[in-house]
Amino acid sequence: MRDRTSPIEEQRRRGRVREIASRAALILAVLSLLSATVHPLWQRMGLVRDLAPELVVHTARPTLALVSVVLLLTARGLRRGNRLAWLGTLAALTLSVVVHLVKGPDVLPALVIAVGIVWLAAQSSAFPVLPTRRAVRWAIVSTVAAVVFVVVLVVGVATWALATDASDAQIERLGRILVPLTYALVVVFVAALLWSLLSPRRPRRLSPQDHLDERERARRVVQEHGTGTLDYFALRDDKDWFFTGSSVVAHSARGGVCLVSPDPIGPPEERALAWAEFLDFADDFGWSVTVIGAAADWLPIYESSGLRTVYLGDEAIVDCPTFSLEGRSHKSLRQAVNRIERAGYTTTFHDPSVLDPALRAQIEQMSEESRHGETERGFSMTLSRLFQPEDTGLLLSVTRDPAGRVDAFCQWVPATAIGGWSLDVMRRRTDVEGLPNGLIDANIVATIGYLAGSGLRGLGLNFAMMREVLEGDPQESSRVESLTRPILQRLSQGTQMGTLSTFNEKFDPGWVPRYVVLDSVEFVATQALVLAGAEGVTEIPVIGRFLGNIGAAS
C-alpha cells in the first residue's frame, strides 16, 4: 500500500527535475553568450557555424548571442514546468546530437546528449504548464505582424535601390544601419514572444457572485475545522480558495507567485494529501509557492515537499485569566489605563454584524479618516473589511468619551486554538487634538478583562517580526544570528520593528513563532517583492498594517 505522503515526495521529485533542467539550460545560455563574446571560446565552440556553415563570423556571433537569450528564457520556462520549454529543449538537444554525428562524427558528446534527451523525455509529468489561448493568439498575431514588417522592409529597400539607382556604397551604408537595427528588433521580438508563451498562467477569474459563493463555502470549512489564530483571515476578499476533500487552501496568485495564508484548513488527517493536491494545482499554472505566517506544526509537511522555511517572528498571545496590571513592570500601562478612566472613557463590546446603525456610522467615519492608505493592508493578518453581515461571531471593542464619541476601537476574529479572539484591526481617532494617550492600551486591557469574565482565555495581539533574533541572548545565538542582529537592530530604529515587540510585551503575552515558507532560490527575490506588496509594506514584509497603529497605541 502506498504511503499517503507519496504525493508530497512526487512533488519534490518534480521540483528537482525542473531545477536540474533549468540550470543545465542556464549553463548552456551562459556558455553560448561567452562563446559569442570571448575570442578563444569562439574558436572552440562552433555550434552555430556547424548548423549554418555559410554564416560569416560577424553574423554567426550575433546569432549565437540570440541563441543565448532563447536559452535564458527556456531555462525560466523549464523551472516553472512549461511544456513548450520542455519540447523546445528536447528539439534543440536532438538537433545537437545530429550535428555532432554529422560533423565528426563526435560520438561521445552525441552519446552524452542522447542520454540527457532520454532522461528529460521521461520527465514529461514535471512539465504540465501550457500557454494560455490568449498568449498563443498574441504569438500568432505578433509573428504575422513581424513577417509582414520584414517583407515590407525588404521590398521597400529593394524598391528604393532600383528607383534611385543607388550605388554599392550607398547600399552598404544603409546596410550598416539596418542590420543592427533589425537584429535588435529580432532579439526584442523573440524575447517578448517567449516571455509571453513561457510565463505562468494567470489565475481564473470568477464572477463576483461565484467568488462570494466560494468564500461562503470556505467559511463553512473555517467554522468546522478552523482552529488557528489566523484561520479566519482565510476569508479575505482578495483571496481565492482551493478545495480538496474537507480542506481549503486560501491563496492569491500575483506575478507568478502563489501566496498562501493561513496554513491549509481542514481535518488533520488530510494535511499531507491536501497540500500535495494544492501543489499539483499550482504546478498546472506554473506558480511558485510561498506561505506567510506558517505555524510550526506545518513545517514538516512544507519541508517534505521541497520548500524552505525561515523564521519570521512571533505572534503575541495574552492569557486573559492570569493577566494583571499589578507590579512595577506594568506601571506605564497601569497609568495609561487610569488616565483614560479618569477622563471618563468607557469601552463596550458588540457583535459588529448587528451593530446599532448610529454607532456603526460613527465607526465607519472614524475608520476612514484614520486609515493609512486607500485599502486595508495585511494579507496574512487582517480581514480587510468591516460590517459585512456574513461575518458573524466577531467581537468589536469600542472606546468612547463621556459624550459618546468613538475615539478608538478594535475588531477581533474568532480563534478557537487559543479559546478567544485574534486582533483584526484597530483604530484611534486622529482628527481631534488633545486626546489622551493610551486609548488603544485601555481598549485592549478592557478586552482582556471582558474575555476573562466570559470564561475565555486567549487574545491574539499581533506579530513581532524577528523578535527572537532581536532580543535573544548573544551568548546562546548562532553565528548567523550574531551577524544579523546588529543589522536588524539598526533597521528596527527606522521601521519600528522593535517597537512591535515592546508594545506587545506590556501585556505579558506568550510568544508563538511564525515562519515564511519559500520556494527555490531562483524565486526568492520575486517572492519577497510580492509578499511585501501583499502585506502593504515598503520597508519589511508582514508588519505593515500594524506599523501605522503603533504610534497611536502608545
Give the pLDDT confidence of 482-541 residue by residue, as tens digits. 444 444 445 444 444 445 667 888 898 998 888 989 988 878 888 888 877 777 654 443
**DSSP assignments along 470-533, one per residue:** HHS-GGG--HHHHHHHHHHHHHHHHH-HHHHHHHHHTT--EEEEEEEEE--HHHHHHHHHHHHH
Domain 208-310 classified CATH 3.40.630?
yes
Q: Which CATH class is domain 314-515+535-553?
A: alpha beta
In sign, the C-alpha dihedral spanning 479, 480, 483, 485 is negative
Asked if pLDDT for residue 144 goes beyond 80, the answer is yes
Q: State the chain's mean pLDDT as an integer.
A: 79
Rounded mean pLDDT of 117-125? 88
Count the Cβ atoms, other than its own, within 10 Å of residue 200: 22
Two domains, one topology: 208-310 and 314-515+535-553: yes
Select from 11, 131, 19, 139 the least CA-distant residue to 78: 19
In sign, the C-alpha dihedral spanning 322, 328, 331, 337 is positive
Burial class (CB in 10 A: 0-12, 13-18, 19+), 31: middle
Beta pairing partners, 406:
400
* Distance (Å) of CA 139 to CA 134, 196, 490: 9, 8, 49
Q: Are 423 and 329 in contact (CB under 8 A)?
A: no
Give the pLDDT confidence of 286-339 residue by residue, as tens digits. 888 999 989 999 999 999 888 988 888 888 999 999 999 988 888 889 999 999
Higher pLDDT, 139 or 261: 261
CB burial string 158-175: b at 16+ within 10 A, e below? eeeeeeeeeeeeeeeeee
Burial class (CB in 10 A: 0-12, 13-18, 19+), 183: middle
45: confidence class by pLDDT, cuts 50, 70, 90: very low
pLDDT of residue 103: 60
Give the pLDDT confidence of 55-74 residue by residue, as tens digits. 444 455 566 667 677 778 88
Q: Of 103-107, 346-350, 483-487, where does mean pLDDT reach its minimum?
A: 483-487
* Cis, peptide link before residue 128, omega less than 30° from 0: no
543: confidence class by pLDDT, cuts 50, 70, 90: very low
Q: Crossing angle for the helix pair 6-37 and 83-103, nearest 10 degrees?
A: 50
Rounded mean pLDDT of 1-28? 74
pLDDT of residue 373: 44
Higher pLDDT, 47 or 208: 208
Length of the chain: 554
Q: Are 66 and 194 in contact (CB under 8 A)?
A: no
β-strand pairing of 288-294 with 257-260: parallel
What residue ranges do the domains of the chain occupy?
6-198, 208-310, 314-515+535-553
Give the pLDDT confidence of 456-467 residue by residue, as tens digits. 999 998 777 766
The C-alpha cell at 244 is 480538496
For 370, phi then psi, to 5°, come to -95, -5
Count the Cβ atoms, other than its own, within 10 Å of residue 375: 9
